[in-house]
A = this chain, B = another copy of it.
Amino acid sequence: MTFAPLFVPEEIREAVSDRAWLAAMLDFERALAAAEAAEGVIPTAAGGAIAEACAPDGYDVDALAEQGRAVGNPAEPLVRALRERVGGEAAGFVHWGATSQDVTDTAAMLVAQRALERVLAELAAVADGLAALAEEHRSTPMVGRTLLQHAAPTTFGVVAAGWLVAAHEARARLADVASERLAVQLGGAVGTLSVLGSDGERVLARVAEELALAEPVLPWHANRTRIAELGAALAECAGVLDRIALDLALLAQTDVGEVREAAGGGSSTLPHKQNPVGSVLVRASARLVAAYSGVLTGGLAQEHERGAAGWQAEWEALSGALAHTGGAAHTLAVTLAGLEVDVDRMRRNLDATGGLVLSEGVAFALAPTLGRERAHELVREVALTAGRSGRTFREELVADGRVELTDVDLEDLLDPARHLGPAEALVDRALAFHRSGAA
């Protein structure tokens, strides 16, 4: 992860570091020994000795990975090192009935579980920030933009509410995956729990319990739906963060100026620049999450009882996807917390076209007399003239002899506040949705 501190806070980087993976692998071995001791599969004393040796201090994870080149994974060297540390008779009971993939897969789930706690908290902070914006700007009029053009009036409350619903939906999906799909892996050589025999199912259940992971229906060495769903859920979150950051960056354009990032980034050469740095970092992380997620969802087709590439490619991709989703969420939460909203500029932009964005209403008002098609056509002509003449839409309407509307009508038709429809009700729906989900 080049320049990682730029994108991801230390705590989240730490949660997906090689050290974190090592600790999680040792947690698996400890929990396995504990479960087997409890079920009488291995001696109680062995369980204790193994637990003691599973403290991560003193293991050199880089060296273990280096040794792993010979076997294709870091678990086998770790198990050897662990056996050595345990020593004596108990050493023979280390990793009893398990296979290397049991170690790394369970570790992947634990790393995910722990990192997701942070990621979900950051996403909750994003949602809270959005809810606060929606609430505060419930009635702040601004221009709605479609295909990057001024279209019709909306409120910043509705805009923020739209972001909020998306953030909520994406976070809810990730939370579901976190609570339902993170499962222990334990299957032995080919996923039949053969060494454990009739104790297998009980040991499996107990290890799951020990580690607060779900118990799978079957060992899932070559069934990567859990990983794929996790990858997809992270990509969905990152995509939603990306969208919000995109909108912020667009609204922060010098030419728009409706929002500004408090900690606007300076420039090495341009003293006046107030770059939307947070949004940019969020968007960059989102691209990386999409790529990592593609590796995770692309790994579904693994061969026979253990994959010969897909599995091994997951480690880096999982760490990267977790880190950058968390980083993006963190950065966006901070950005939202400090966001400056320029309500006056919103209003000025809304009025910039002199009522043009309200042409839809004018066309509707003219439809009864002129027919819908002709009304639409007439308004379109006036709008185009206004676009080119420099006069406002309203001025052109008045100037055009064909438009028979009173001043009062026009006042009414060209007042944005009267064309917001149920905007406030929509904000309330979003806030209620947010609150129910947060419950």
The interface residues of chain B lying within 8 Å CB-to-CB of A266 are 70-71, 76, 380
Q: How many residues of A contact B (CB 8 A)?
A: 182
Shortest distance from the beta carbon of A83 to any chain B beta carbon, whole Å: 7
Taken residue by residue from 141 to 166, chain A's Cβ proximity to chain B (1 for < 8 Å, 0 otherwise) reads as: 00111111111111100110110011
Contact of A190 among B5, B146, B275, B284 (CB under 8 A): B146
**A223-B162, A305-B144 known; A200 and B254 CB under 8 Å?**
no
Residue of B nearest to A263 (CB): B70
Q: Identify which of residues 308-345 in chain A touch chain B, using a CB-to-CB cut-off of 8 Å.
A: 308-313, 315-320, 331
Residue of B nearest to A89 (CB): B371
| Bound form: Cα–Cα A228–B162 in Å | 16
The interface residues of chain B lying within 8 Å CB-to-CB of A161 are 218
Contact of A21 among B2, B201, B269 (CB under 8 A): B2
Shortest distance from the beta carbon of A126 to any chain B beta carbon, whole Å: 14
The stretch that binds B, out of A31-39, A116-124, A294-302, A399-407, is A294-302
| Bound form: Cα–Cα A372–B75 in Å | 17
Residue of B nearest to A20 (CB): B2
Shortest distance from the beta carbon of A98 to any chain B beta carbon, whole Å: 7
Taken residue by residue from 375 to 387, chain A's Cβ proximity to chain B (1 for < 8 Å, 0 otherwise) reads as: 0110110011011
Shortest distance from the beta carbon of A165 to any chain B beta carbon, whole Å: 5
Q: Identify which of residues 234-277 in chain A touch chain B, using a CB-to-CB cut-off of 8 Å.
A: 235-236, 239-240, 242-243, 245-247, 249-250, 252-256, 263, 265-277
The interface residues of chain B lying within 8 Å CB-to-CB of A197 are 421-422
Contact of A304 among B144, B192, B265, B430 (CB under 8 A): B144
Shortest distance from the beta carbon of A106 to any chain B beta carbon, whole Å: 14
Taken residue by residue from 50 to 89, chain A's Cβ proximity to chain B (1 for < 8 Å, 0 otherwise) reads as: 0000000000011001101111111110010001000000
Q: Taking the full assembly, how many copies of this chain does it contain?
A: 4
**A83-B373, A145-B303, A266-B76 known; A191 and B313 CB under 8 Å?**
no
Shortest distance from the beta carbon of A392 to any chain B beta carbon, whole Å: 12
Taken residue by residue from 218 to 236, chain A's Cβ proximity to chain B (1 for < 8 Å, 0 otherwise) reads as: 1111111100110010011
| Bound form: Cα–Cα A232–B293 in Å | 11
Which of A170, A224, A298 has the most C-beta atoms of chain B within 10 angstroms of its own C-beta? Answer: A298
**A147-B72, A193-B426 known; A349 and B304 CB under 8 Å?**
no
Residue of B nearest to A74 (CB): B3
Answer whether residue A287 sits at the interface, using C-beta atoms and an 8 A cutoff. yes
| Bound form: Cα–Cα A300–B293 in Å | 14
Contact of A189 among B144, B201, B380 (CB under 8 A): B144
Q: Are A359 and B272 in contact (CB under 8 A)?
A: yes
Q: Which 9 A-B pairs have the closest CB atoms?
A: A144-B190, A239-B300, A283-B309, A272-B383, A194-B421, A146-B306, A232-B232, A284-B312, A92-B372
